């Protein structure tokens, strides 16, 4: 494997907030002969994963699986439900929300963008106010990012649903869960989400290459009237083929083997335990950051992400030089600052296939890196995390 270390040994620490570490069980599941995607064996696999994946979205509705990155699922959500010139309301939680907005603009949609400072969650009251003004119901969809991966801030989706209902507004609700699905509690049906967008390479512990749209009855109805051009992303042909476990074009057969295994792992651990594990590790990571005397990017204590922690570099110190040192000295990848946060923050991914010692190793790499790079900090971050982890039962609910 290509690495900057001259003599790497042991496992690389891939502690970016996606792609995440792929469990050996999943790698072994992927390592099988590719089969005829129109043959009988494939149909059984297709039906199993299409049904099994619903559980992770906490939905009874269909979930469509595309062979694509998450960006494709963003596009699919919009082109299947909207028409040229339609207005959509989006919220600037950070870099990923800004990219989704850019994509919507390129498709010919009119975007109302609620501005944000990249340090706070979605303000449901601001959405309610904007929808209340829209008495003509020109806004066709509200699009929000559940876990903003560029900032480490998680938004309250139930509150967004309540804002839409409170305004008695018919807009569809679309939610990006690319870095929260399988890590942070998410309820497609209960929260009345119309399209949930997800990807394989974060909480689902798979390599990049699969993307998802969970649908609602209203989203499916909207697909009948939507006039944005769509072909590859069209839900209708997909759902028709999915009924018997097949796809309208060649699916990512081997990634679907992996998905089957990853779903089994999530089921065996239990989703409540998976969510509790993530929030516990996030809490330990924040204790380390506090002990170091460094600043979290996330400012709202109710919205700190359980999937990743973004840390602001002290004045005069670049995050990229620090990350480079950590990679070269300790063979660990940390997440970079994205967009306007470039070189200003580093991000610690603690999602997916992850345990107490993975966290301790990750935090030790950060603490050694801070010392080696001469970044002003207090020692004791790893110690604070260890004391917390030792004192808390691993299975304790959040
Ligand atoms: C990673 C990520 C994306 C982009 O997904 P790709 O697979 O890179 O296209 C979008 N939104 C969020 C919240 C993400 O974390």
Q: What is the 3-state secondary structure (H, E, C) of the chain?
A: CCCCCCCCCCCCEEECCCCCCCCHHHHHHHCCCCCCCCCHHHHHHHHHHHHHHHHHHCCCCCEEEECCCHHHHHHHHHHCCCCCCCEEEEECCCHHHHHHHHHHHHCCCEEEEECCCCCCCCCHHHHHHHHHHCCCCCEEEEEEECEECCCCEECCHHHHHHHHHHCCCCCEEEEECCCCCCCCCCCCCCCCCCEEEEECCCCCCCCCCCEEEECCHHHHHHHHHCCCCCCCCCHHHHHHHHCCCCCCCCCCHHHHHHHHHHHHHHHHHCHHHHHHHHHHHHHHHHHHHHHHCCEECCCCHHHECCCEEEEECCCCCCHHHHHHHHHHHHCEEEECCCHHHCCCEEEEECCCCCCHHHHHHHHHHHHHHHHHCCCCCCCCHHHHHHHHHHHCCCCCCC
**Ligand 1 centroid to residue 7 C-alpha, Å:** 32
What is the total residue count of the chain? 398
Q: Is 378 annotated as belonging to a binding site?
A: no
Which carries the bigger pLDDT value, residue 5 or residue 383? 383
Query: Burial code of 168-194, b = ≥16 C-beta within 10 A, e = fewer?
Result: ebebbbbbbbbbbbbbbbbebeebbbb
d(CA 25, CA 35): 20
> For the chain, what percent of residues have pLDDT higher than 90?
96
Nearest ligand 1 atom, CA 177: 13
The whole-number average pLDDT for the span 40-58 is 98
Q: Which of 7-11, 95-99, 384-388 has the lowest mean pLDDT?
A: 7-11
The whole-number average pLDDT for the span 215-243 is 98
Q: Is 60 exceeded by the pLDDT of residue 336?
A: yes
The whole-number average pLDDT for the span 318-330 is 98
Residues flanking ligand 1, CB < 6 Å: 18, 69-71, 96, 145, 149, 176, 178-179, 199, 208
**Ligand 1 centroid to residue 77 C-alpha, Å:** 14
Q: Which of 178, 183, 204 to mutate to test the pocket of ligand 1 (most atoms within 8 A of CB)?
A: 178
> For ligand 1, atom 6, which residue shows the shortest CA distance?
70
Q: Which of 199, 204, 207, 310 to mutate to test the pocket of ligand 1 (most atoms within 8 A of CB)?
A: 199
**Ligand 1 centroid to residue 71 C-alpha, Å:** 6
The whole-number average pLDDT for the span 129-157 is 98
The whole-number average pLDDT for the span 353-375 is 98
Q: Is 80 exceeded by the pLDDT of residue 203?
A: yes
> Which domains, from first to last, does the chain contain?
13-20+270-391 (3.90.1150.10), 24-267 (3.40.640.10)
Question: pLDDT tens for residues 84-140?
Answer: 999 999 999 999 999 999 999 999 999 999 999 999 999 999 999 999 999 999 999
Question: pLDDT tens for residues 260-297?
Answer: 999 999 999 999 999 999 999 999 999 999 999 999 99
The whole-number average pLDDT for the span 178-202 is 98
> For ligand 1, atom 5, which residue shows the shortest CA distance?
70
């Amino acid at each position: 494997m290509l690495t900057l270390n001259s003599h790497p040994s042991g496992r690389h620490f891939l502690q970016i907030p996606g792609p995440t570490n792929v469990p050996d069980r999943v790698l072994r599941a992927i390592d099988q002969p590719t089969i005829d995607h129109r043959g009988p064996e494939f149909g059984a696999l297709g039906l199993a994963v299409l049904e099994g994946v619903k559980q992770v979205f906490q939905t009874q509705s269909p979930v469509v699986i595309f062979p694509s990155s998450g960006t494709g699922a963003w596009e699919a959500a919009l082109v299947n439900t909207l028409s040229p010139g339609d207005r959509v309301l989006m919220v600037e939680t950070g870099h990923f929300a800004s990219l989704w907005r850019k994509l919507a603009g390129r498709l010919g949609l009119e975007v109302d963008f609620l501005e944000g400072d990249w340090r706070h969650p979605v303000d449901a009251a601001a959405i309610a106010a904007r929808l209340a003004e829209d008495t003509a119901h020109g806004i066709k969809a509200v699009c929000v990012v559940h876990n903003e991966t560029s900032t480490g801030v998680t938004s309250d989706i139930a509150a967004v649903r309540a804002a839409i209902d409170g305004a008695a507004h018919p807009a569809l609700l679309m939610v990006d869960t690319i870095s929260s699905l399988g890590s942070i509690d998410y309820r497609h049906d209960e929260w009345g989400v119309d399209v949930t967008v997800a990807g394989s390479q974060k909480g689902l512990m798979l390599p990049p290459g699969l993307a998802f749209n969970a649908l609602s009855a209203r989203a499916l109805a909207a697909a009948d009237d939507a006039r944005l051009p769509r072909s590859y992303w069209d839900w209708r042909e997909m759902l028709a083929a999915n009924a018997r476990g097949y796809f309208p074009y060649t699916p990512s057969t081997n990634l679907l083997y992996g998905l089957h295994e990853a779903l089994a792992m999530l089921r065996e651990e239990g989703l409540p335990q998976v969510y509790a594990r993530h929030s516990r590790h996030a809490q330990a990571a924040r204790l380390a950051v506090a002990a170091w005397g460094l600043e979290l990017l996330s400012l709202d204590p109710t919205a700190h992400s359980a999937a990743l922690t973004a840390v602001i570099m002290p004045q005069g110190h670049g995050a990229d030089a620090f990350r480079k040192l950590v990679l070269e000295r300790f063979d660990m990848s940390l997440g970079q600052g994205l967009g306007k946060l470039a070189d200003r923050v580093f991000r610690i991914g603690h999602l997916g296939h992850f345990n107490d010692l993975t966290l301790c190793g990750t935090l030790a790499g950060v603490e050694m890196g801070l010392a080696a790079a001469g970044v002003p900090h207090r020692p004791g971050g790893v110690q604070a995390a260890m004391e917390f982890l030792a004192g808390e039962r691993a299975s304790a609910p959040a």
